[in-house]
Structure 1
Amino acid sequence: MADITLSAGVRQNLLSLQKTADLMASTQNRLATGKKVNSALDNPTNFFTSASLQTRASDLSSLLDSMSNGVKTLEAADNGLTSITKNLESMQSTLRQARQDKSFKTTSYNVDLGASPAGTETLSFSGGSVGATAVDIDLTEAQGVFTGAGFAALDFDSAADNSYAGTLDFDVAVDGGTAQSISITAVDADTLAITVDGGAATNVDVADVEAVTSTELESVLNAGFAANNVDITASTDGGELVLTSNTASDAGTAAVAVTNVAETLAGASDSGLAGGAGSLGTVSAKSVDLLVDEINGNAGLTDKIRASNDNGKLRIENQSTQELTITGASAGAIVDGGSGTATIGGNGVRSDLATQFNLLRDQLDKLSDDSSFNGVNLLRGDNLKINFNETGTSTLNIQSKDGETINSANLGLMSIEAADLDSDANIDSLLSTVSDALNTIRSQSSSFGSNLSMVENRQDFSKSMKNTLQTGADNLVLADTNEEGANMLALQTRQQLSSVALSLASQADQAVLRLF
């Protein structure tokens, strides 16, 4: 080949044809790959810049997968919180149903202590909401009595000269308490004064201080007792003055003890009143209305037992889910103050609702345990870390408040007993606890919702950035196929022309053959 000699024209046309072939090969490669820069040899700057942008876009693509998992983890936690909220609302509804239910068991008893009560009869309550320590209610009331004759007309003019110097003094004690001194004196012809423990005198009008009747003396005593808050009521019974305590007495103790009787009345009308160390006097059964008042007024029985008058019978309502034991009532529904016992059942509706409440509480914990995604459970206090850039300098840590597990214990919801629903006040307290738990769950839902919004916002941003990076990388290396197609057509035309030119140059070299 080296010995072949080509003319200058042929050689020039051959070189042009070879260049055109090289350009066609390059253009065909660009059309085939779609890139104008296929290696660092084509354009080092564009090639390596494009590779760097593509690498970052690939890193963002991996981060987007992590963000997508984070979104699903938050959605799983939100599913759990939504179900827990509904569960708490069901618990709230259960407690409200218990609060409204008043189907407490009741029994009505006839009160019959017999013709001669001993004064020691009691009615005792235990069990139910009362507890093991019994609360006793006395069934009888004792009366202190002034006894004596000549009570019809007491004469306070002891000197018989209209000096009105007569006095009547004695001491009284309620239920064995501290004695109080009572002093009655004449002020003028139609006025008596009564003092208690030497205090201010209370004046009471009478018809004549020289002939004071038992009824008038009763009025004087009641006025003085009322003015000085002495818990005694005076009354007359067959010419006798009866002093009765306004409160229940202790068994075996006179309601009112009368002592130290002293009088300076006109001799012929001396009252002959006597009290000595205090006599028990008469004992009688308390009325149903009085028993109702004492039972309902007893602090140890308030909101535990309710008494009422049921057409002359003592009606007892057991305001508890537990069985109430009554001592002093016979099996025939008769209150006799004896050693017999009777029972009143508990509220079965509230008891069943307590069981339902506990089942809902257990279900709450199961919902919390099952709210995981890909092994991460935000409701169990797991920490979810999401990276937002390839260098790890932009992150978000998502966790429940204080990293605590969202369960019944941390929400303050303890398992309850049926007895916990005995009291309306206790149910109100439980309702308040459930309400606080609902507020906690709603607050946590709001926090997770805010985190989800941030992740989704960053997810959209990363997608846009990935698209921007890929577009920028492609702009540096991708070929314009329209342009390259036009170039190919131009090169094909040039190749044809170069072939024709080469042929013409060869014909010029052949002109010498015509000489032979």
Structure 2
Amino acid sequence: MADLTLSSAVRANLNTLQSTAEMMSSVQNKLATGKKVNSALDNPNSFFTASGLTSRANDLSNLLDDMGQSVQTLKSADQGISSITKLVESAKAKANQALQTQSQYERKQFASQYNELLTQIEDLAKDAGYKGKNLLAGDGNDLTTIFNEDSTSKLKIDAVDYTDTSLSTGLNLSDLAEGQGSATSFQLQGGKVTLSLTDGTSALNSSSTLSESNSISATTTLQFVDNTATTPAALSGTSITAGATVQDLVDGLNSVAGVRAEFDDASGELTIYSDEDIYLNDTGATVGAVLTIDGDNAEVDAAAFTATSQLLSDSGSFAVGDTLTLTDGNGYELGSLEVESDTSVDDLENFINDFKGVTAEFNTSSGKLNITSETDLALTSDNADFASSGFVADTDGVTLSALSDSGFASDNSINRVVDRLNTALSSLRTQASEFGTNLSIVENRQDFTKKMINTLEEGAGKLTLADTNEEGANLLALQTRQSLASTSLSFAAQADQNVLRLF
């Protein structure tokens, strides 16, 4: 093409068209990509500066995702603390309920419910994790949130351990002893004899002297003899002279523990009840010689009860009108039973079985009433002879000591638990506040990072993005220039074509 010769006018117009086409191509590329700098060739300084800004924005965008996950982890922990706080408040309510009753059995139940709440607290703490990170599970669960691309700005959030409520660094709440019951038994036994005191023709009364009886001489001195021993022995302090009254005899018998005497003035009948074998004899008679009154031996052969239908009043330990009281170790009265003339062993057994945590079972073979209780227990009577043994009164009644008491057995124990619960609640609120502060920091940095990313992308855009309005105007101007250049080239070519007219 070097051999071709163009006129200067044609060549000038051709160069203009080529230049305009290149500029139009550049403008069209800017409009198509939206960028005025698409490569380092367009503007090295702007291109590399924008690339740096974009790279930093991308790094921050990745960190922004991590911040979002940190926010969710903190929210999960905060929800866990809120729920744990409610459970601790429920545990405190149980302790306060225990304070409102003196019943050891009810307190034992509250202690059991308290322990179940602690178990639920531990389970809830274990379930408070998010994506394998649990801020309530202690070691290995600390959360670190990075805020900038070179990791020089970050926040470390220490985990706490609520999965074990007994930890002193956590809630410091230990399970309570729920208590372990025990058992005891006491013998139900007795016998009676009825004697007629007469002067041969009529019955004696309470004020009659014993010597008026046709069976007791004026020289007789009565004594009460323990017939349970191998060698019967007189019971001390029980000698009654014949000059004494019938009432003196009755009083003397009643002074012996486990022995009860009743005298009927109308019939002259003396009934003697005893828990142990006992008889009356003359101090001058040989050992073992039982006094005979109107043909009946003044002797009681006591035996263990063998049926639940037997009456309690057939024993020297019970009398009509006695009140039996069942209490626990705190002195809390479970209930009382008044002995009536028809009150049987079965009634006593049912009375004890009426109360929760206590069971009674009568053994017809041994005559023992077996009692099992989940707490300390005492069965007492206003009768001093109740549960006597060997002519010795048992002033404490029938008592049972549990193998171990519950953690709520005493007011002091409950108050100590309440104090610990208050401390745990304070600790939970402090920890919730700390997590709340951390959450606020992370959310604040999250918002800041979003704005920073926008700023970086905006700055990169100012260096590389094209003004479409301007480039559109440029394209229109270039199209006009191209059209004019084409027309001008046509005019220049026409001047060269005039030579053809010569042929």
* C-alpha displacement of 1:6: 1.2
User: C-alpha offsets along residues 251-308 of structure 1, whole Å, 9 cap, x if unaligned?
Assistant: xxxxxxxxxxxxxxxxxxxxxxxxxxxxxxxxxxxxxxxxxxxxxxxxxxxxxxxxxx
Map of 1:445 onto structure 2: 432
Residue in structure 2 matching 1:357, options 114, 130, 149: 114
Map of 1:137 onto structure 2: none
Distance 2:147 2:114 in 1: 44
Map of 1:490 onto structure 2: 477
Secondary structure of 1:505's aligned partner: helix
* C-alpha displacement of 1:405: 4.6
Map of 1:78 onto structure 2: 78
Secondary structure of 1:484's aligned partner: helix
Q: Where do 1:213-224 residues align within 5 Å?
A: none
Map of 1:383 onto structure 2: 142
* C-alpha displacement of 1:355: 1.1
Q: Where do 1:303-322 residues align within 5 Å?
A: 321=104
Distance 1:406 1:392 in 2: 32
Which amino acid in structure 2 is aligned with residue 485 of structure 1? G
TM-score by length of 1: 0.51
Map of 2:403 onto structure 1: none
Map of 1:396 onto structure 2: 155
Map of 1:366 onto structure 2: 123
Distance 2:101 2:120 in 1: 24
Distance 1:38 1:420 in 2: 78
User: C-alpha offsets along residues 6-35 of structure 1, whole Å, 9 cap, x if unaligned?
Assistant: 111111111111111111111111010001
* C-alpha displacement of 1:422: 1.7
Distance 1:438 1:407 in 2: 16
Q: Where do 1:170-181 residues align within 5 Å?
A: none
User: C-alpha offsets along residues 477-497 of structure 1, whole Å, 9 cap, x if unaligned?
Assistant: 000000000011111111111
Residue in structure 1 matching 2:452, options 443, 451, 465: 465
* C-alpha displacement of 1:514: 2.7
Map of 1:500 onto structure 2: 487
Which amino acid in structure 2 is aligned with residue 54 of structure 1? T
2:43 matches 1:43: yes
Map of 2:23 onto structure 1: 23
Residue in structure 2 matching 1:413, options 173, 179, 196: 173
* C-alpha displacement of 1:406: 5.6
User: C-alpha offsets along residues 36-62 of structure 1, whole Å, 9 cap, x if unaligned?
Assistant: 001000000000000000000000001
Distance 1:99 1:480 in 2: 80
Which amino acid in structure 1 is aligned with residue 165 of structure 2? S
Secondary structure of 2:407's aligned partner: helix
Map of 2:315 onto structure 1: none
Distance 2:54 2:501 in 1: 67
Which amino acid in structure 2 is aligned with residue 384 of structure 1? L
User: C-alpha offsets along residues 430-464 of structure 1, whole Å, 9 cap, x if unaligned?
Assistant: 11111111111111111111111111111111111
Which amino acid in structure 1 is aligned with residue 144 of structure 2? K
Distance 1:79 1:405 in 2: 13
Q: Where do 1:97-136 residues align within 5 Å?
A: 97-102=97-102, 104=103
Distance 2:172 2:26 in 1: 77
Distance 2:145 2:14 in 1: 65
Secondary structure of 2:145's aligned partner: strand
Secondary structure of 1:30's aligned partner: helix
Distance 1:46 1:67 in 2: 31
Map of 1:278 onto structure 2: none
Which amino acid in structure 1 is aligned with residue 470 of structure 2? E
Distance 1:9 1:2 in 2: 17
Map of 1:165 onto structure 2: none
* C-alpha displacement of 1:66: 0.8
The number of residues matched between the two structures is 271
Distance 1:505 1:88 in 2: 99
Secondary structure of 2:41's aligned partner: coil
Secondary structure of 2:35's aligned partner: coil
Which amino acid in structure 1 is aligned with residue 43 of structure 2? N
8 A contact 2:17–2:485 mirrored in 1? yes
Which amino acid in structure 2 is aligned with residue 394 of structure 1? S
Distance 2:428 2:475 in 1: 69
Distance 1:356 1:366 in 2: 15
Distance 1:422 1:11 in 2: 115
Q: Where do 1:129-278 residues align within 5 Å?
A: none
Unaligned runs of 5+ in 2: 179-405
* C-alpha displacement of 1:351: 1.8
2:419 matches 1:432: yes
Unaligned runs of 5+ in 1: 105-320, 322-346
Distance 1:90 1:405 in 2: 17
8 A contact 2:121–2:162 mirrored in 1? no
Map of 2:56 onto structure 1: 56
Distance 1:90 1:500 in 2: 95
* Percent of paired sites with the same residue: 52
8 A contact 2:137–2:161 mirrored in 1? yes
Distance 1:405 1:438 in 2: 13
Distance 1:428 1:504 in 2: 112
Distance 2:34 2:172 in 1: 66
User: C-alpha offsets along residues 307-360 of structure 1, whole Å, 9 cap, x if unaligned?
Assistant: xxxxxxxxxxxxxx2xxxxxxxxxxxxxxxxxxxxxxxxx3x222111111100
Distance 2:31 2:135 in 1: 53
Secondary structure of 2:48's aligned partner: helix
Distance 1:510 1:420 in 2: 121
Which amino acid in structure 1 is aligned with residue 175 of structure 2? S
Distance 1:75 1:44 in 2: 46
Map of 2:91 onto structure 1: 91
Which amino acid in structure 2 is aligned with residue 93 of structure 1? A
* C-alpha displacement of 1:404: 4.5
Distance 1:374 1:492 in 2: 60
Which amino acid in structure 2 is aligned with residue 478 of structure 1? L
Distance 1:412 1:511 in 2: 111
8 A contact 2:121–2:163 mirrored in 1? no
